[in-house]
Amino acid sequence: MRKATVSPPQAWPTLGFHHRFIELELRALTPIFKSGSTTTQIDEGRPFRAPSIRGALRYWWRATSTLADVEQLRAREKALFGGVHGGPVASAVSVAILSQQSSAGPRPSNKPYAFGVTGKEPQDEARNRQVHMNTTGTLRIDWREDSDGEEVKRDLKAWLLFGGIGGRSRRGAGSIWWDEGIDRPLTIDNYIAAWRRLVPEGATRPWPTLAGSVLLVGPARASADAAWNEGLDWMRDVRASRGVRQGFLGVRGNDLFEWKREDYLRFEQAGQFRSSRAALGLPIRFQGRKGTYILNAQGYNRYPSPVHLKVVQFGSDFHPVMLVLRGPMPTDVSAKKTDKTQGKGSTTRGTVAEAGLDRFLALAAQLPGWGRHV
């Protein structure tokens, strides 16, 4: 295992301000998936990057914000995290990695749904990519005393409870947990209560938010890897209409196979189609009867999934959890043919079935051993 030590941050350049800080001992319950100096090799011993953590903190700050107006949100975010639009403003929050360590390992071969080939990289390269294993580190968060310290702590706790680090974190990779520095729930009931305290009051916002969110909690498992497999397998089965495992037979039905008919069959037979699966994130690469396609939102490079899978730990028990945020989603999608069969480059247009997210939640709530909380 390789260890890297980083010097503490230098004194703030602003004058006349005192600062508060929190130091956290972090560990990753699942491998961290991120590139290093090459696409296949990691920078061993350096699993954490301060800019990546700052980006995650901004995301979860927006998701837990009590504001309801976009302009107010932007102004407050700039005051807290800094920005240059409309004139430069220094950040009131600083992130530093005081120490970190990890070892290099191969991408897990038994988790194709988490680490499957995306189509953007050669298969040999994708299979040979490394991940960070056995990751630990010390994180320090500073904020100016004139800032709202409770707001910073709320944001930090949301990231720790529901977020991750690195690529494929929405499918459970890079599930971080902590031991010291800020209150940590000790039981799954404490965890559910902590989620409820972070949910903003009022209606959903025009950005991804915990307002109106749903929390799905899976059964306890003896290891983080077993809990991760539990979450990945069920997410795959519900989203991909697999329905092949014995425990899933009671959930199978016409609703499940409707997903497949919409995305894989109907669009090839008509000029328009509606996709429920698109509500769970885009782009989607799939094989239709007439070729290989990329389904994506029109006018977007991607639409990140509102479903966040994470592994959490309480004593010797590990649970998979799925947090489903609410927010706007694209309305129009297109399926573009990408392979070399006849008609390459042709595009079929369709729409997103917004009810697809609710259908996913209804099916997921029936999974054996899982509970749904609203």
Q: Residue 170, class by beta-carbon neighbours within 10 Å (0-12 exposed, 13-18 middle, 19+ buried)?
A: buried
Return the bridge partners of 139, or none: 24, 97
Would you call 258 helix, strand, or coil by DSSP?
helix
Q: Any idea which residue has 């649970």 for tokens?
A: 319
Among 177, 134, 192, 167, CA closest to 321 = 192
CA angle 76/79/85 to nearest 5° reads: 95
pTM: 0.87
Q: Which parts of the chain have pLDDT scores under 70?
A: 1-18, 35-40, 116-128, 240-272, 288-289, 340-346
Query: What is the C-alpha to C-alpha distance for residues 180 and 5, in angstroms, rounded to an integer?
Result: 19
Instruction: Calculate the dihedral angle through the C-alpha atoms of 167, 170, 175, 177, rounding to the nearest 10 degrees.
Output: 120
